[in-house]
Amino acid sequence: MSQGEGGLRERKKLQTRAALTDAALRLALAKGPDNVTAEEIAEAADVSVRTFFNYFPHKEYAILGRNPAHLESALELIATAPAEQSPLTTMWLIVRDVLRDLMAEGELSRRGELIMGSPSLLYHLMLSSMDDERQLSAALTERIGDPLRARLIVSAAGTACRVAVELHKDAPDSAPADLVDAAFQLLAQGIDPDYQKGSS
């Protein structure tokens, strides 16, 4: 297969994934996520049910808009980060890129509202986030050689992003990117500089 054919194939795959996630979000907003089926999503995206399951293991991942390219890019950023770049800075760059994509697609608020109102979506988001954290932590551990520090940094970065999105939902006029920046600044400075082990 030529490079041009490979590029065309990849673009078609991205278009199909986008059509499925768009259809899933649209149907979930209209009917509620619990009332949407994979068959309906496939039909709305004009693909077969088999094609749907080639991209997503279940409807919740389609509604969540899970994009494997984000994880692949994040792992690449960790692997290629300059030696002098702090791990927290690397995680901020990862979160910044994902947030930028979500904001460009105009889906942050809409998906956020759905997720917060659906125990099923929250459960699947938690499962997928745990898997992402596991892979990111393994990659960061390989880079810095400290599994405890690596896991704490990855977990704290994910929490900072989640908290920022929740605060944006409560205060829509706030900019998600600014909230994320402020959260990471707090992490960098120490969220409780007065902490003393074992103090009463």
| Average pLDDT of the chain, as a whole number | 87
Tokens encoding 197: 């082990």
Is residue 158 within 8 A of residue 151, CB to CB? The reply is no
Angle at 14 between CA 13 and CA 15, to 5 degrees: 90
Give tens-digit pLDDT for 47-67: 999 999 999 988 999 998 877
d(CA 111, CA 125): 11
Across 46-62, b (16+ Cβ under 10 Å) vs e yields ebeeeebeebbeebbbb
| One-letter amino acid for residue 158 of the chain | G
End-to-end CA distance of the chain: 68
Residue % of the chain over a pLDDT of 70:
92
pLDDT of 155 reads 94
CA–CA separation, 96 and 184 (whole Å) = 11
Q: Read off the pLDDT of residues 98-146 as tens digits, 9 standing for 90 and up.
A: 887 777 666 666 777 788 788 888 888 888 889 999 999 999 999 999 9
For 9-40, what is each residue's pLDDT tens digit?
888 988 999 899 999 999 999 999 999 999 99
Asked if residue 147 lies in contact with residue 134, where contact means CB atoms within 8 angstroms, the answer is no
